[in-house]
Amino acid sequence: MDKEDGAVNRFHLKHVYESQQFDRELLDTLFRVADEIKADLIRGDRSRYRLEGKIMASLFYEPSTRTRFSFESAMTRLGGDILTTENARKFSSAAKGETIEDTARIMAGYADAIVMRHYESGSAERAARVSPVPVISAGDGAGQHPTQALLDMYTLKDNFGQIDRLRIVMVGDLKYGRTVRSLCYLLTKYDNIEIVFASPTVCRMEDDIKEYLDRYQVPWSEETELDQVLPEVDCVYMTRIQKERFVVPEEYEEAAGKYILTLEKVRTMKERAIIMHPLPRVDEIPSEVDADPRARYFDQAQNGLYIRMALLYLLLQQA
């Protein structure tokens, strides 16, 4: 058995729709394949992992830049092909009232994998229940964004060499931020993790995540003053206030602009601490912070390519 076959045999998922599906062994396998893919591409070589003859359907019902293009780039770099639409909400049969389940059944006849972003929480899991081919969530409303969390974890590992014993502050829109929700689920797989939530009152992390952290004995706390926390953490995970998710405009106005990570504040952080952000950003990280060596959000976005290449390979080689 060669190393590629060994990795596939240890990766037993068929679909990816939530972070809770992953254990530490699956994460280790995914990260190892991503490391090898990254090394190949940095050297300018073709990836040793290939998916010639495979087709990925890209169904995005919400706007996306990084997630959509990194998935499509990932499939192309693996030697596969893609089927895509600019706006599935408008240009697919969803505009005619077709259900997620029916769309998944139809697309499964055209492609070997379906990557779906949808505005309804739980949509990818619904598609996975009826699809004979792998379904991968690319974000579902305010629910989860598991592949973002996977690349976030990979970024932590890439920077610190390990993920255990880290203290992380999550900042901004924690109520509607699917990326921080998914990341919390994955962090419970590691030891001696501590999480601090810093958000406006109207954007606090939901109780279901706090209860999940309690169940897995991951210490967490809530802070209102970010300045007090910055010198004490290993990672600052910034998020934008998502205007499009607010029903009450006054609540958005209350939250917008409350936490801005200025260069002056960055200078109070640990020398080896890092700044992450799922992007896009609005005003929460001024552009002058980009040159600081602690800024890792563009590397983080690049890591999305390696993780998604690894994930597609592991899912499709066993399909």
Residues labelled catalytic: 66-67, 96, 117, 145
Residue 35 to residue 179: CA distance in whole angstroms:
22
Residue 247 to residue 307: CA distance in whole angstroms:
34
Task: Tokens for 290, please give them.
Answer: 């980009």
Distance of CA 178 to the CA centre of its chain: 8
Q: Is 204 helix (H, G, I), strand (E, B) or coil?
A: coil
Q: What is the DSSP string of 37-83?
A: HHHHHHTTPPPS---TT-EEEEEESS--SHHHHHHHHHHHHTT-EEE
Residue 50 to residue 221: CA distance in whole angstroms:
44
Q: Would you say 308 and 33 are in contact if contact means Cβ atoms under 8 Å apart?
A: no
Please report, as a single letter, which amino acid is at residue 75.
Answer: M
Q: How far is CA 289 from CA 191, 265, 267, 284, in A?
A: 31, 10, 10, 10
Other beta carbons less than 10 A from residue 273's beta carbon: 23
